[in-house]
Structures are given as structure tokens and as C-alpha cells.
Amino acid sequence: MSVTFKKYIPLGILSVLGFYMIASYFLAVPVIVDSAREAQNFSAIISTVALGFGPFAILRQHIPRSRKGNIYSIVLLAGLIGMPVLYLITGSTTSLPYDWLYRSTVTALDPGIYCLVAFAIIAGCFRAFRIRNIDSLLVMVAAVVLLLGKVPIGEPFKPLSDWFMAVPNTAGYRGVQLGVGLGVFAYTLRILLGTERTWLAEVGEG
């Protein structure tokens, strides 16, 4: 396939549709608004079709071979094949074996992994709150005031804690959001104008 078909035509379609969708957000022209809604429906259809290829990609990647972590691939493949088979046998997603298997694996493991956040935060706090210079001292003081302001014993610190959240924290947050907003706008513009092509593996020397 030539570069024109593989790269430039898709980039052209992306550019036209991108500007069209932006126009549909601002303009009150019924033709543009309606056709943009239709285009979004097409996006959902394409995503659904793409989803059909997913299991094949997973099979290709996880079919056991001599590498580390084969056992995890076997567990994944058992789930990928076992769950639809169980559904075909029982004919329902609310049947006891199907529901039990889902609840005792996915539902149990999800909060299990989430719980690790607590341990990770403690380890992170230990490093972040170690006083090495004036900056880390300020971080430490602010953190202690904030923590005290959130518990009944630290009631006197509540006004200062609230001030930290409402003034310096909000100021920093808005500054970051402003930069991010502009960054997203400029990046999107670069993509739509076709100048940004690093995501298509066109990388310079940096």
C-alpha cells in the first residue's frame, strides 16, 4: 500500500472531520449539528467492529510459549474462553455458576488491588514528608495542617486547612488547568493541521 493511502488520506480525513466536529460544537446550523451526531454514531459502530478483533489479538499474544509469566496467560485464556462457554451452557448472565464465577474473581480482585493504594500512599508519604530542605519543610507543615483540619481533634486548624485548600491549592490547580487546556488546544491543532506526526512513528532527533 502506498504512503498516500496508508498515511496522507487518513490524515486528510482526520483533519476534515476534526474541524467539522469543532464547528458542530459552535455553530447552530442544523445540517452540521445533525451530520456531526451521525458521525459520532459511526464512531461507535467502528469501535464495536474493532472490539470483535480484540479476542484474536489476545489469543495471538497469550497462547503459551516459553516466556516468563505463562501461568498468567493460561489464567487469562481460561477466563476468555471459559466465561462465554459458561454463558452458552447456562444461557444467562444471571445464572448461579456464571454470577458466582464473576463475583468471586473480578468483583473480589478489583477492590483487592484498590486496597494496595493505602500501602503505596504510606510509602510515598514517608519519602515526601522527609525534611531535607526548606521546601520539604513547607510541604510537611502544609500536609500536617491539612490532615489535622480533617479530623475532630484538629478542629482549631480547620480554618487554616480550609484556607490552604481554597487559596494556594486552588491557585495552583487553576494555573495547571490553564496550561493543560492550552496544551491540549495547541496539540489538537497540530494534529489537525498535520504537523504533529510523532504518534505515527515520525520522530526526529529530539
Q: How far apart are alpha carbons 38 and 30 in whole angstroms?
A: 12
Kindly state the smallest distance separating residue 162's Cβ from other proteins, in Å: 19
Say if residues 103 and 117 touch (Cβ distance below 8 Å): no
- Return the closest-CA partner of residue 143 out of 118, 155, 126: 126
**C-beta of 88 vs 122, nearer to other proteins:** 122
Nearest-approach distance from CB 192 to other proteins, in angstroms: 10
Q: How far is the CB of 23 from other proteins (least distance, A)?
A: 10
Task: Supply the minimum distance, in Å, between the C-beta of residue 156 and other proteins.
Answer: 26
**Of the two residues 22 and 144, which places its CB atom closer to other proteins in the complex?**
22
Nearest approach in angstroms of CB 177 to other proteins is: 7
Which C-beta is closer to other proteins: that of 44 or that of 96? 44
Which is nearer to other proteins, 89 or 187 (by Cβ)? 187
Give CA–CA dist 201/206, Å, rounded: 13
Q: Would the CA dihedral through 134, 135, 139, 145 be positive or negative?
A: positive
Residues near other proteins (CB under 8 A) are 22, 25-29, 47, 50-51, 53-54, 57-58, 60-61, 65, 67-69, 72, 106, 109-111, 113-114, 116-117, 119-121, 123-125, 127-128, 173, 176-180, 182-191, 193, 195-206
3-class SS string, 126-148 = HHHCCCCCHHHHHHHHHHHHHHH
Distance CA 11, CA 187 (A): 15
- Among residues 5 and 119, whose Cβ is nearest to other proteins? 119
The amino acid that residue 22 corresponds to is I
